[in-house]
Structure 1
Amino acid sequence: MAEMVGIAFAFSYIGDAFHGSQIQPEVRTVQKDLQIAFHKAKFAGSNPLLRFSSRTDAGVTARMNVAVCVVKKSVWQKMGDLRFRRALNDHLKDVVVWAAEETSEDWNPRMASRRVYRFRLETMRQFNKPHDEGKLLEMMKLFEGTHDFTGYCRPEEGRITTRTVDYCKPWSIDGRLVGFEIAAQSFLWNQVRRIAWAMSEVALGTSSIEVIQEALGKGEQPPFFGLGPSKWLTLWAIEYEDISFTDKSGDFFENLSAPPVGINGRQFEIWQQSADHEQKQLLLNSWLSYL
């Protein structure tokens, strides 16, 4: 019997091109597109099993997600990283595979040591109004540590809602507060987007740090229950003890344009569209070196 190996690979995608990352009937998803690409490339059989590290909602972009497939060791030895990537990327649109490494046949991409997300707060309508950045910075610290995030997620039956956040810190460009970066071994469904909404409420003064802290301490839903828009959330990085892809990708958001000062609501909507296009363009430009 042929010796089999696992191939862990890192990939990036444009969020609003898909109805999320996981397979769903009759809609386009990242996993479905990857499976079609594997089928066309042929080197992993007609129906390869792909296991993903992280699930993302419709509209959420990924700078880095990770999956694994199983192939014959002899096939991988002939292909290597470059030919593996090119074989898949030739059949992909709105997704790019940018790194691949051999691992064990039973390697589990879910067993990450850390996942990192970035949320771009400055693009939310609430931040077109005067807001208190000091409160935002104070609030970010509240979410660090171990808490029951029942009030900051979309509940799933039978799933434990306690999570440990390694850090929640400002995401800044040249001293400008762009949003926040948050890291944990795992997150709950909608957790980061709920946190983003809570930050917007406090920044506007429509809620308070005390209300947020109380809801977090009790594991209860706060008085508001909104969601930050998915298009401003990016799955930024995934870390493992035994494999490292992090150093192989750059910070393509380092030159994001700042929102204009003193604009009205309609002007802000137009700027949001421009900001959305800019993010996609920066992501696409970062893909060029991988093709």
Structure 2
Amino acid sequence: MSDEVEPGLVRVRLDLSYDGKDFSGWARQPLGRRTVQGEIEDALRTVTRSDVSYDLTVAGRTDAGVHARGQVAHVDLPQEVWAEHREKLLRRMAGRLPHDVRIWRIAEAPSGFNARFSAIWRRYAYRVTDNVGGVDPLLRGHVLWHDWELDVEAMNAASAALLGEHDFAAYCKKREGATTIRTLQELSWARGDDGIVTATVRADAFCHNMVRSLVGALLYVGDGHRGVEWPGKVLAAAVRDSSVHVVKPHGLTLEEVGYPADELLAARSKEARNLRTLPGSSGGGPGGCC
């Protein structure tokens, strides 16, 4: 499969952010549900005065209620549309989009770029507080309240066993035909001066509910309900574990998406489409998101 743009079209990269509170996730859905993709595609059609919609491809399809600070998408526009609107497109989109989604940069993408398949990592943050008084009202839409004191050192110790390439089936909601093999590059916890405990989670890609399941398991370690070795044992079992709690989405934010140098984009995109397997595994198709 090639990422060559069809003749007469220009591939355009969009860098954006959104507050996920009132969205039913990224992906456009039936029944009139409000989505980030739907809002942007509708605004793009309006400002370019087009009779058709231009489909967006996104780096990470976030779930309902999940936020994004560093989301990336691309869209293929007719050359004449891009030529006419490129200089004023960012400003016009700002005037048309609702206040809970913003585009910060619109630019022609380099050759071989694919927002989804060219990415080499996605970095999420999950924020939680164990303050006995609860969450600061001004932060309540982005921070989870956990009403047990958390041991950050124990959570970091438990996280170490989850790093690397594994089958994360125990921490993912299985999707037909999708692999659950992922490479977890970073999973660390830190308590800020404000008392908020932030998990930094970075991987080449994520399967459905993976970040929120990992956070849920590690919170059980942090509050003393499970031992440090438990998350690793769950991972090794490689089957969905009902004792792993999927935490609420509002504490989760997609912070950044990483891409290789321009000359490596096409090769990365091709590689990312290959089926991933572990030794002795049959693998599967491309996975979903977190």
Shorter-chain TM-score category?
0.7 to 0.9
Alpha-carbon RMSD: 2.3
1:44-68: CA deviation from partner (whole Å, max 9, x where unpaired): 6632122122111110000021111
**Does residue 127 of structure 2 align to residue 120 of structure 1?**
yes
Instruction: State how far apart, in whole Å, the 2-side matches of 1:204 and 1:64 are.
Output: 31
TM-score normalised per structure 2 = 0.76
Corresponding residue number in structure 2 for 1:83: 88
Question: Counterpart of 1:54 in 2: which secondary structure?
Answer: coil
Corresponding residue number in structure 1 for 2:151: 132
Corresponding residue number in structure 2 for 1:24: 29
Gaps of 5+ in 1: 244-291
Corresponding residue number in structure 2 for 1:107: 113
- Contact preservation (8 Å) 2:16, 2:104: yes
- Contact preservation (8 Å) 1:43, 1:75: no
Deviation (angstroms), 1:175: 8.4
**Does residue 217 of structure 2 align to residue 198 of structure 1?**
yes
TM-score normalised per structure 1 = 0.76
Instruction: State how far apart, in whole Å, the 2-side matches of 1:50 and 1:87 are.
Output: 18
Letter in 2 for 1:87: R
Instruction: State how far apart, in whole Å, the 2-side matches of 1:210 and 1:140 are.
Output: 9
Corresponding residue number in structure 1 for 2:102: 96
Deviation (angstroms), 1:210: 1.9
Instruction: State how far apart, in whole Å, the 2-side matches of 1:151 and 1:115 are.
Output: 20
Instruction: State how far apart, in whole Å, the 1-side matches of 2:52 and 2:190 are.
Output: 43
The list of structure 1 runs, each at least 4 consecutive aligned residues, that deviate by more than 6 angstroms after superposition, is none
Instruction: State how far apart, in whole Å, the 1-side matches of 2:69 and 2:22 are.
Output: 14
Letter in 1 for 2:88: R
Letter in 1 for 2:59: S
Distance of aligned partners of 1:133 and 1:104 in 2 relative to their CA distance in 1, 3 Å threshold? closer
Deviation (angstroms), 1:85: 1.3
1:210-257: CA deviation from partner (whole Å, max 9, x where unpaired): 2221111231334612111100000111111146xxxxxxxxxxxxxx
- Contact preservation (8 Å) 1:197, 1:228: yes
Corresponding residue number in structure 2 for 1:141: 160
Distance of aligned partners of 1:69 and 1:43 in 2 relative to their CA distance in 1, 3 Å threshold? farther
Question: Counterpart of 1:35 in 2: which secondary structure?
Answer: helix
Instruction: State how far apart, in whole Å, the 1-side matches of 2:149 and 2:70 are.
Output: 33
**After the TM superposition, which of the residue ranges 173-182 and 231-240 deviates more from structure 2?**
173-182
Q: Identity of counterpart residues, as a percentage?
A: 27
1:117-162: CA deviation from partner (whole Å, max 9, x where unpaired): 0001224443x32332221121222221111111111111121111
Corresponding residue number in structure 2 for 1:51: 57
Corresponding residue number in structure 1 for 2:227: 208
Corresponding residue number in structure 1 for 2:75: 69
